[in-house]
Amino acid sequence: MSEEGGLIAAILAHADARPDDTALVCNGEAASWRQLRDDVLAIAGALSADGDVGRIALLGTADIGLVTAYLAIIAAGGCAVPLPASAHPDALAGMLADCDPALVFVQAGHDLPEAYAGRMVKLDADAAGRVAADFRAAAPPLAAPVTADPDAPFNIIYSSGTTGRAKGIVHPHRMRYRQAARTLFGLDAGSTMLLATPLYSNTTLMPMLSALFHGARVVLMPKFDAERYLDLAESLRATHTMLVPVQYQRILAADSFGRRDLSAFRVKQSTGAPLPAAAKRALLDTWPGDFFEVYGLTEGGCTAILDAARYPEKAHTVGKPAAGNTIRIIDENGDDVEQGERGEIIGRSAMMMSGYFRNDEANRAFYWRDRDGTLYHRTGDIGMFDEDGFLVLLDRKKDMIISGGFNIYASDLEEKLLSHPGVLEAAVIAIPSEKWGETPLGFVVAKAGAALDPDALRDWVNARLGRMQKISAVEIRDALPRNSGGKVLKQELKNPYWEKAS
């Protein structure tokens, strides 16, 4: 199937060759390729009965019906907008006002703001979350997916919106097709992709679409639990997975991990944030199959991949630029820095978003052009290339701590905290300091059974840091606040300290 033929058509074509094989699994329910095709085309027919489909939103975590509705929106020529079910009601209302969907498919257990109740299509909780039969039967099914312009919007993914207005990232059909068609991760009709993040996360959508494109079975977990994940991986003989770092850390720490048969695994991927080097080495030592760390943006344009099994000595990096990606490191003046020097990471590729939806201000801040006028994406990350061309990710630009005039990278301090045998998770932020302007404060989650003393841990880590890197204090927490992609919400950690100082 060619790029022009469309991603949804390529996915549904598997129903012709393997109609009775399983395409999707969720919560013990399964859908065959035939059933997936028939449901997608039936829903698409109902959606397109009145003409132009436009933008249609989805609200939920993950189930067969939600995936089917997502594919059907695009098959009907519309733009799918999966909304974060974990968002604060005010943030959700802002996203709905921004995208103004004609309809919203809503998974059981989730609610829309009252103003959008008239646009709601409820998914049937008693039928594997599928779209109700009367909705599907409202018009004849489509004979085939609509052939879309490659530059037309495929979906809009909203950023977490933890600070300020959430940004709608518009992915065109061309971008999604190229992502799905990649062969790097060895997906085929014999593969089983196990995913444990919500449908509204690109961590789910990108590997899910790729797996379906290649005819693989996709298994979805609506809610992550380390032991339940291991149950599914073992019983379904999972071969592929994409997880965020905190999920890998919790799986490695699970009581039963060492007793599990994970021998079917061929490829594991991690994304969303850097996985600590020690965790990468543990995965290589204890979990069969290759491991790839994927650094990139939901916006696309800047992807690096670390093949950890091939380059174990580079576990502290996020790998080399992926094929077709140009990645540069620039200083504050927009000039390229020398190898080994630090600066902002920018990149471009053939897989880039169309832009932020209805947000010219965000587009102006995000895009960067060189002196030749070539367009790049700004990552907001600080990094450098080592002597072998591997990208070392140092910190978020906004998370850098300036203490006494010195730049301190929170990631350096977090790595040292994570090297303590009793620490499971760690985050470091800047808090106000009368003496230094800012000073680092650490937050940690202890491993099961570990008794951590915050002062003793502070002294332990400071003994292993440079003179200008010292952590002022450590707080022990039961959990760190995270978004659906597993990223620590540092602003939530910072707010109490900076509000008190203002």
Which of 137, 160, 175 is the last residue in one of the domains?
A: 175
What CATH number is associated with residue 105? 3.40.50.980
Q: Are residues 24 and 74 in the same domain?
A: yes
Backbone dihedral angles phi then psi of residue 371, each to the nearest 5 degrees:
-65, -20
Does any domain span residue 48?
yes
Let me know: does 261 contact 234? Beta carbons within 8 Å: yes
Does any domain span residue 226?
no
Let me know: does 443 contact 472? Beta carbons within 8 Å: no
Q: Are residues 98 and 165 in the same domain?
A: yes
Tell me the one-letter amino acid at 271.
T
Let me know: does 277 contact 254? Beta carbons within 8 Å: no
For residue 409, give the DSSP letter: -
Let me know: does 428 contact 417? Beta carbons within 8 Å: yes
Q: b vs e for 391-421, b when ≥16 Cβ sit within 10 Å of the residue's Cβ? A: bbbbbbeebbbebeeeebbbbebbbbbbebe
Let me know: does 300 contact 349? Beta carbons within 8 Å: yes
Let me know: does 241 contact 216? Beta carbons within 8 Å: no
Does any domain span residue 423?
yes
What span, in angstroms and rounded, lies between the C-alpha atoms of 490 and 162? Answer: 10
Q: In the prediction, which pLDDT does 162 show?
A: 45
What CATH number is associated with residue 447? 3.30.300.30
Q: Are residues 455 and 331 in the same domain?
A: no
Q: β-pairing, 79-84 with 55-60?
A: parallel
Does any domain span residue 31?
yes
Question: How many C-beta atoms surround the C-beta of residue 16 within 10 A?
Answer: 10
| Cα radius of gyration rounded to whole Å, the chain | 23
Tell me the one-letter amino acid at 256.
S
Structural domain boundaries, residue 428: 400-501
Which of 142, 175, 208 is the last residue in one of the domains?
A: 175
- Measured in Å, how far apart are the chain's first and last C-alpha atoms? 59
Tell me the one-letter amino acid at 498.
W
Q: How many domains does the chain have?
A: 3
Q: Are residues 405 and 378 in the same domain?
A: no
Does any domain span residue 270?
no
Ramachandran quadrant class, 285 (left: phi over 0; alpha: psi -120 to 50; beta: rest): alpha
**What's the residue count for the chain?**
502
Does any domain span residue 253?
no
How many CA atoms does the CB half-sphere of 409 hold within 13 Å?
A: 16
Q: Are residues 8 and 74 in the same domain?
A: yes
Q: Are residues 364 and 439 in the same domain?
A: no
The pTM of the full predicted model, rounded to 2 decimals, is 0.87
Q: Are residues 406 and 475 in the same domain?
A: yes
Q: In the prediction, which pLDDT does 161 show?
A: 45
Q: Are residues 23 and 113 in the same domain?
A: yes
Does any domain span residue 83?
yes
What CATH number is associated with residue 341? 2.30.38.10
- How many helices and strands (H and E) does the chain possess? 15, 27
Q: Are residues 373 and 422 in the same domain?
A: no
Q: In the prediction, which pLDDT does 406 show?
A: 73
Q: Are residues 114 and 40 in the same domain?
A: yes
What span, in angstroms and rounded, lies between the C-alpha atoms of 359 and 288? Answer: 44
- Helix residue ranges, H only, 161-269: 173-181, 202-213, 226-235, 245-252
Q: In the prediction, which pLDDT does 159 show?
A: 82
Does any domain span residue 282?
no
Instruction: Tell whether the torsion through CA atoms of 427, 429, 431 and 437 is positive or negative.
Output: positive
Q: Are residues 22 and 164 in the same domain?
A: yes
Which of 319, 353, 382 is the last residue in one of the domains?
A: 382
Q: Are residues 480 and 339 in the same domain?
A: no
Render each residue's pLDDT in the chain as its tens digit; 502 residues. Answer: 566 569 999 999 999 999 999 999 999 999 999 999 999 999 999 999 988 899 999 999 999 999 999 999 999 999 999 999 988 888 899 999 999 999 999 999 999 999 999 999 999 877 666 888 888 888 999 999 999 999 999 999 998 644 457 899 999 999 999 999 999 999 999 999 999 999 999 999 999 999 999 999 999 999 999 999 999 999 999 999 999 988 999 999 999 999 999 999 999 999 988 888 989 999 999 999 999 999 999 999 999 999 999 999 999 999 999 999 999 999 999 999 999 999 999 999 999 999 999 999 999 999 999 999 999 999 999 999 999 999 999 888 888 888 877 778 888 899 899 999 999 999 999 998 888 888 999 999 999 999 999 999 999 999 998 877 899 999 999 999 988 777 888 889 998 988 876 5
Q: In the prediction, which pLDDT does 315 show?
A: 95
